[in-house]
Amino acid sequence: MRPRCIALLVGVASLLGAGSASADDLRPSGKLLLTGGVTTVEGSGGGGLSSWATITGYATRDGVGANVHATRVELPDYQFRAYGAAVGLFDRIELSYTRQDFNTQGTGAKLGLGRGFTFHQDVVGVKVKVLGDAVYDQDTWVPQVAVGAQYKNAAKAPIVAALGGQDDDGIDYYVSATKVLLAQSMVVSGAVRATKANQTGLLGFGGPGGEDDYSLQFEGSAGLLLSKRLLVGGEYRSKPNNLGLKEDDWWDLFAAYAVSKNLSVTAGYADLGTIATFKGQRGLYLSLQAGF
């Protein structure tokens, strides 16, 4: 099922690519290397954990870009996978879909869920650039700013309810600001997210005693461009603790390498803290992105 799903996404992406290449007015691959960003675990263009204001893909306002991605994080007690596709329209609107699998492996038995129990989540995202340009506007400190929303559906109502969560679906809203500081060869990005999500939604939304309200959380990235192909940096993402399960903030260190405008590889080390009472969930982060 999973390989077939990825094959389908790749197929759709190549169809989109063929379509845009054959239309004279649509020009793919117009942006500079890496300035399209990579893909977050939630499917948005950005770093690995934090959404940027950039629109996914390499198209400028003259064209359409798209990406497929597959990401895995190997944790001591869990395995986290995400895969999906995103389209960038005229460097203005980004539409994305990502499927997350959070496999509890042997931990599932200890949690009473059963060995190999897997939390799933579908994330449908939309992002709109509202002002600025992260790359061109080097004569001002004004960043590129985008607003976005992510509809998340974990489709596990009984377990979410058992954990104390209110809902198994919800919507995150965010405002993101991203700037490429060319003179410093740096990329910085920060976003404020209104969310009810527990472990970004894998464990549902809201908590037991009135923690049903949105809270404002922060996510940010800072990276150094070492060459036009290589970006190294770190990320931080704060999270609410609605379920009282000592949910931790997330952070990572990453290196994103653009093999070409059609393929980039991101490797990193992610610390996802305590997840469902299991502490120290730190491990290797690996993500492949293919597109144009």
Tell me the two tokens of residue 67. Answer: 């990406």
Q: What x-and-dash track marks residues 13-42 binding another protein by CB under 8 A?
A: --------------x-xxxx----------
Structure tokens at 211: 């923690």
Pick out residues in 90-119 that bind another protein (CB under 8 A): none
Within 8 A by CB and 6+ apart from 235, the residues are 47, 48, 49, 50, 219, 220, 221, 222, 250, 251, 252, 254
Integer distance in angstroms from the first to the last C-alpha of the chain? 25
The minimum distance between CB 269 and another protein, in angstroms, equals 24
Q: How far is the CB of 155 from another protein (least distance, A)?
A: 41
Among 74, 101, 122, 137, binds another protein (CB under 8 A): 137
**Least CB distance to another protein at residue 37 (A):** 16
d(CA 233, CA 169) in angstroms, rounded, equals: 32
Tell me the site size for another protein, rule CB under 8 A: 23
Do the beta carbons of residue 5 and residue 12 sit within 8 Å?
Answer: no
Please report, as a single letter, which amino acid is at residue 220: G
- The single residue among 63, 207, 233, 291 that binds another protein, judged by CB under 8 A, is 63
Interface residue with another protein among 14, 60, 118, 153 (CB under 8 A) is 60
Binding mask 155-184 for another protein (x = CB under 8 A): --------------------------xxxx
What is the phi/psi pair of residue 276, to 5°?
50, 55
* Contact range with another protein by CB under 8 A, out of 10-18, 59-67, 171-179, 242-250: 59-67
How is residue 7 written in tokens? 């094959």
Binding track over 184-213 against another protein, x by CB under 8 A: xx----------------------------
Strand partners, 153: 122, 169
Answer for which of 225, 231, 270, 290 binds another protein (CB under 8 A) is 225
What residues line the site for another protein (CB under 8 A)?
A: 27, 29-32, 60-63, 135-139, 181-185, 225-228
